[in-house]
Amino acid sequence: MSSDSLPTRYDPESFEGRWYSKWESSGAFSPTLEGDRPPFCIVIPPPNVTGVLHIGHALQFTLQDLIIRWRRMQGYDALWLPGTDHAGIATQVMVERQLAKEGTTRQALGRDRFLERMWQWKEEHKDNISRQAKALGSSCDWSRERFTLDDGLSRAVRRAFVTLHSQGLIYRDQRLINWCPRCHTALSDLEVVHKEQQGRMWDFAYPLEDEGEIVVSTTRPETMLGDTAIAVHPADGRYSGLVGFHAIHPFLDRRVPLIADAELVDPEFGTGAVKVTPAHDPNDFQTGKRHELEFINILDNEGKINDAGGQFAGQDRFAARTAVVQALKAKGLLRGERPHEMAIGHCQRCDTIVEPLLSRQWFVDAKPLAEKALEVVRDGRVKVVPDFWVATYEHWLENIQDWCISRQLWWGHRIPAFTCAQGHLLVCEEDPDSCPTCGQAVEQDPDVLDTWFSSGLWPFSTLGWPDETEDLKRFYPTSVLITGFDILFFWVARMIMMGCHLTGEVPFHAVHLTGLVRDASGDKMSKTKGNTIDPLEVVSEYGADAVRFTLAALASPGRDLPLDIRRMEGYRAFATKVWNAARFVQMKLEGDEQPLGDLSPADLGPAERWILSRLAHTVRSVNRAWECYRFDEGCHELYHFVWHAYCDWYLELAKGVTDRREVRSVLRGVLLEALKLLHPVMPYITEEIGHHLGHEEMLILTRYPDPDGRWEDNELEADFSALQELVAGLRSYRAMVGLSQRHPIAVTLVGVDEHRAGFLTSQTDQLEQLAAVASIRLGTAPAQAIHELLGGMEVALELPPGSLGEDQLVRLQKQIEQLDRNRAGLEGRLSNSSFTAKAPPEVVDGARQQLAEVTTRLERLRQTIEASAG
C-alpha cells in the first residue's frame, strides 16, 4: 500500500513501462486454468512477423485488450494468445529486394541459403511487433506466443493438408490460374485486385480459308497468337453457314475452326464473333473444354511470348501487343481501334498486371467446406458483428470458386506431396524415405502453400491442434475474433471453413469486424500519401491510454474511423482530468474512509446518493456496451460520468463538506469504481491512481463492477436534475444580464410541485455554494420578481432594481415564442380527433398535461414582460 501523493503533472511515460512489467511478471496475462472459472479466449489476428504495426493494428489491439481485460476482471479465465504470421509473398518480396541491392537473387543463392536469409530476417524483426503491442498495454500471454512456421503449427498444416487430400477436398489439376509474372507465382482469386482502367479494344479480321473474312474484337490482341477457334452464336443467321469452316491464322501456320457456342457468345455484342484463346482466358478455357479445342500456351513465366508465338517469340506481352497490332495493320487486317473501359487484375502485392495462365496447381474444393461455413453463421453459432456483413459473407460463400493454394515461393509451408521417378504421388505427414509403392527415391513438391492456408487453422493450431492439448480442450472454440472487415474472405471465412471441417466446431462464437482507420479528412492512410500515424509515436506523445481511448471511442460498429490527431489531445486532456480529480481526492483523504459496500443509502446525503445512483447506471450501461461491442458507447458513458457527473458536480458539491467521513468515503469509493470501469480502456493511469489511493490489489485482477440496484434511485436523480438545471439556469441568467456569478439572488419557486420544491429548498447550502442563491422558498412571487423558466420549472428571481436589460427582454421574448410554438402544436394535436382516438392514452394524457403547464408559464412570462415595461 502506498499513500505517497500523486505528482502534480500527469506524465504517462513515468509509469507505463513499470506497470506493464508488473502485470507481466505477476502472471496476470496467463490464464489460471482453474476449473471453476469459465474460459474466455481471443486469438490475435497475427501480423506479418517482419512488418511494422500501423494504427489499424493499434485499433484491433486496443479492442481486443479491452475485451480481454474486461472479461478477466469479470472472473473469466482469460487468454489472449499472441503471435505472428510468416506472410509468404510479402516477406519474401522484402528479402528479395534486399538481395537485389546486394546484386544477387534467390535463385543464385539456392533454396537452402535463401531460407537461411529469410529466417535471419525474421529473427531481426520479430521483436518489433511484440514491442509495439506491449507499448500499447496489450495483456497477451506471451508464454503462448506462436508463429505460423513453428514446428507445432507446421504440423497442423500438414495434418490439415493430408486430411483434406485424403477426403478428396484437396487435388492437383492443370487449370487456368492467376499468374503474377513479377512474383513468378500463382495467386488465388482473392489476391487479384481488379482496377477499373481505360483500355483499348481492337477489331481485326481473320481471313477465311475459302474466301471472305470474319471480324473479331479483343482487348488483348497478343492473345490471338494462342487462338484456336472463332466462336459465333448458333442462332446467329449472319454466320450460320460458316460454322465448321476454318479461318487462317495470319501469323502462324494454323487453321482456326469456326464453332458455335451459345454460352460464350452474345450475338448483340460487337460483331457477334469471338476469338477463342483457351489457354489465356477463363471463358475461353471453358469453351475450349466444351469443344475439345487445342490449348496453346503462348506465355512464359516472365510474361514473355514463348516459342508458340512464332515471329513474336521473346517479346514482352505488352510489347507483343503493339507488335501484333502493327503486324495486323501491315497485313490490312486491322478493322478498328477504340478506347474501352475495363477492370484489369493486378497482383495484390506488387501491383503487376496478372496474367491468366494454364498451370498445374493444388486446389481446395471449397464448396463442401463453404456449405458448413454458411450454416454456422445462419444458425447463429458464429455471430457476426455488425450483422450486415452476413449478406456479404453469404454471397461470397454461395459463389465460391475452388481455392488455388500452391505458390511458387520458398518462404512458407512446403507442400507435403512427394513423387518418385515412376510418378507415384504420395501425400503424407512424415517425410518418406522412399516411395512405398516402388521403393525408389522421392522428391518433394517444390512449392509452398498459400499463407492463408495456415492462417485458416490459426484458432486451433495455436492451441495445440492436432494434439488434444489442455489448452485446446479448455479454450476452443475461442470466444470472439476481432479483426478488420477487409480480411473477411481471406481469413475469417476460411477459418470458419477449416475450423468446422477439421475440428467439427466453430473456431469462435463471435466475430467483430472493425472499420478502417482513416486520416482526419477520411482518406485511406498510405505510406505514399504520407498520412500514416505511427502507433509508437502517438503513444509516446499522448500516452498509451489516450491513444487507446481515442481508438475505442471512435470505433462505432461497421464504420471507418476518421482519426484526427486532435482527438488524442482531447482524450489526453481527459486522462489529465482524471489525474487531477484523483489528486484532489487524495488530498482530502484521512485514511478512515469506508468501502462503498459498508455504506447504506440511509447514511448519505442527496449528493452522495445521486453520484452513487449515476455510478450504478454507468456500470450497467458500460457493461452492456462492452457486451455488444459498442466500444464507442462505453467510452462516451465513462467520459461523461467521470467528467460531467463526478468532476463537474459531485466534486464541487463535496468540496465544502469533506470533513464528513461518509463524503470522503464516497469521494474515494466512486473514484475507485470509475477507475475499475475505465481500466480495460485506460489500464495504465487507472492502475497508477488506484495504487496511490491505496487500492492494494492490482486493478488488472480486480473484480469489474457489477450493476448494483441498491444505489439506483431514479426519483432522486430527477430531483437532482432539477437542481442542476436551476443552477445552470441561474448562471446563464446572470451571464445574460451581466451580473457577477457571485451576486446573490433570492429564488421563489412558483410552478413547482411540492415534492420537488421540498427537495430544492432542502439544498440551500449546495445552491448557495454552486449558484449563490441567497434564499429559496416555495410560494407566490414577489411583485417585482422576474419570472424565468429554468429546467422546466417556473421560478421567480429577485434582482437589484433596474437590472432587467434589453438583452434579457429579448431572451424572454425568445422563450415565449418557443413556448407558444409548443402550445400551438399541442393544441393542434389535441383538437385532432384522430390523435385523441388513435394515439395511446398515456401519450394523449401527457400532451394534455404539457399544454396546461405551457399555458400557465406563458401567462407568467408575459406578465413579467409587461411588468418590466410598465
Within 829-858, the residues that bind RNA by CB under 7 A are 829, 832, 834-835, 838-840, 843, 847, 850, 854
Q: Does 617 bind RNA (CB under 7 A)?
A: no
Stretch that binds RNA, among 48-56, 95-103, 280-288, 405-413 (CB under 7 A): 280-288
Cβ–Cβ < 8 Å for 416, 427 = yes
* CB contact at 8 A, 493 and 393: yes
Residue 650 is classified by DSSP as: I
**Closest separation in Å from C-beta 556 to RNA:** 4
In whole angstroms, how far apart are CA 135 and each of 18, 82, 122, 190? Answer: 11, 14, 21, 33
Least distance CB 217 / RNA (angstroms): 5
What is the C-alpha separation between 130 and 115, in angstroms, rounded? 23
Stretch that binds RNA, among 241-249, 502-510, 578-586, 660-668 (CB under 7 A): 578-586
Q: From the list 208, 573, 858, 867, which residue makes contact with RNA (rule: CB under 7 A)? A: 573
C-beta separation of 201 from 217 below 8 A: yes
Nearer to RNA by C-beta: 44 or 770?
A: 770
Q: Residues near 751 by Cβ (< 8 Å), separated by ≥ 6?
A: 793, 794, 853, 856, 857, 860
Residue of 33, 421, 735, 852 interacting with RNA (CB under 7 A): 735
Toward RNA, which CB reaches closer, 43 or 492?
A: 492
| Closer Cβ to RNA, 115 or 830, answer by number | 830
In the complex with RNA, which residue's Cβ is closer, 73 or 553? 553
User: Pick from 677, 162, 730: which is nearest to 466 by CA?
Assistant: 162
Nearest approach in angstroms of CB 268 to RNA is 6
Q: Could you say whether residue 718 binds RNA (CB under 7 A)?
A: no
Strand partners, 798: 746
Residues numbered 591-610 forming contacts with RNA, rule: CB under 7 A: none
Residue list 383-402, contact with RNA (CB under 7 A): 388, 391-392, 395-396, 399, 401
Q: Cβ contacts of residue 408 below 8 Å, gap of 6+?
A: 184, 185, 186, 446, 447
Cβ atoms 656, 676 nearer than 8 A: no
> At its nearest, how many Å lie between RNA and the CB of residue 193?
7
Applying CB under 7 A, does 491 fall inside the site for RNA? no
Identity of the residue, 141 or 402, whose beta carbon is nearer to RNA in the bound complex: 402
Q: Which of 427/582 has CB closer to RNA?
A: 582
We find the least distance from the C-beta atom of residue 829 to RNA, in angstroms, to be 5
Candidate residues 76, 245, 251, 584; the one interacting with RNA per rule CB under 7 A? 584
Taking CA atoms, 265 is separated from 222, 226, 235, in Å, by 20, 18, 10
Q: Does 636 bind RNA (CB under 7 A)?
A: yes
C-alpha cell at 84: 505472428
Strand 192-207 with 213-218, pairing: antiparallel
Contact yes or no for 561/518 (Cβ under 8 A): yes
Q: Which stretch binds RNA (CB under 7 A): 36-44, 247-255, 745-753, 825-833?
A: 825-833
Looking at the Cβ atoms of 502 and 635, the one nearer to RNA is: 635
Q: Phi and psi dihedrals of 621, rounded to 5?
A: -75, -30
Interaction of residue 667 with RNA, rule CB under 7 A: no
Residue-level length of the chain? 870
CA 417 to chain centre: 38
Cell numbers at 512, concatenated: 467483430
Asked whether position 200 contacts RNA by CB under 7 A, the answer is no
The answer to whether 86 contacts RNA (rule: CB under 7 A) is no
Q: Does 628 bind RNA (CB under 7 A)?
A: no
Name residues contacting RNA, limited to 415-434 (CB under 7 A): none
Q: What secondary structure does DSSP assign to 668-719, as a single string? A: HHHHHHHHHHHTTTSHHHHHHHHHHTT--S-GGGSPPPPP-GGG--HHHHHH
Residue from 556, 762, 764, 775 binding RNA (CB under 7 A): 556
Q: In the complex with RNA, which residue's Cβ is closer, 79 or 635?
A: 635
Output 147 or 639, the one with its CB closest to RNA. Answer: 639
Figure out which of the listed residues 15, 362, 489, 626 binds RNA, where binding follows CB under 7 A.
489
| C-alpha distances in Å from residue 584, one per residue of 173, 579, 685, 691, 698 | 73, 9, 16, 15, 22
Show contacts with RNA in window 282-321 (CB under 7 A).
282-283
Residue 87 interacting with RNA (CB under 7 A): no
SS3 call for 416:
coil
Among 55, 156, 190, 672, binds RNA (CB under 7 A): 190
* Comparison of 157 and 666: residue with beta carbon closer to RNA: 666
**Residue 361, H or E segment:** strand 355-364
Q: Choose, by CB under 7 A, the member of 268, 307, 430, 468 that binds RNA.
A: 268
Is residue 744 within the footprint of RNA (CB under 7 A)? no
772 neighbors 745 (Cβ within 8 angstroms): yes
Task: Find, among 373, 472, 425, 474, the residue nearest to 156 by Cα.
Answer: 472
State yes or no: residue 487 binds RNA (CB under 7 A): no
Alpha-carbon distance 204 to 185, whole Å? 33
Under the binding rule (CB under 7 A), the answer on residue 541 touching RNA is no
Q: Considering the rule CB under 7 A, would residue 269 count as an interface residue with RNA?
A: yes
Which candidate, 181, 526, 173, places its Cα nearest to that of 345?
A: 181
Q: Smaller CB distance to RNA: residue 605 or 792?
A: 792
Report the nearest approach of RNA to the CB of residue 782 (Å): 24
- Measured between its terminal Cα atoms, the distance across the chain in Å is 69
H or E element that contains 171: strand 170-180
Task: Please identify which residue in 122, 280, 567, 695 interacts with RNA, judged by CB under 7 A.
Answer: 567
Nearer to RNA, 477 or 744 (CB): 744
Positions 9 through 48 that interact with RNA (CB under 7 A): 9-10
β-strand pairing of 77-81 with 39-43: parallel
Show contacts with RNA in window 760-799 (CB under 7 A): 792
Site for RNA in 502-531 (CB under 7 A): 520-522, 524
Q: Which is nearer to RNA, 83 or 634 (CB)?
A: 634
# residues contacting RNA (CB under 7 A): 92
DSSP secondary structure letters along 172-203: EEEEEEEEETTTTEEE-GGGEEEEEEEEEEEE
Cβ proximity to RNA, 703 vs 848, nearer residue: 848
Q: How far is the CB of 32 from RNA (least distance, A)?
A: 37
Q: Which of 28, 74, 169, 189 binds RNA (CB under 7 A)?
A: 189
49 vs 276, which CB is nearer to RNA?
A: 276
Q: What is the smallest separation between the CB atom of 428 and RNA, expressed in angstroms?
A: 33
Nearer to RNA, 107 or 219 (CB): 219
Dihedral angle over CA of 533, 536, 540, 546, nearest 10: 70
DSSP helix, strand, coil percent of the chain (3-state; round to 5): 50, 20, 35
Choice from 215, 319, 589, 647 touching RNA (CB under 7 A)? 647
CB of 861 to RNA, least distance (A): 13
Is 806 a binding residue for RNA by CB under 7 A? The answer is no
Residue 807 binds RNA (CB under 7 A): no
Is 453 or 485 the residue whose CB approaches RNA more closely?
485
Q: Which of 406, 490, 492 is nearest to 450 (CA)?
A: 406
The distance of closest approach from Cβ of residue 437 to RNA in the complex, given in angstroms and rounded to an integer, is: 39
Compose the 208-247 pattern: x for residues touching RNA by CB under 7 A, - for all others: --------xxxxx---------------------------
Nearest residue to 599 via CA among 587, 584, 611: 611
Prior bond to 356 cis, omega within 30?
no
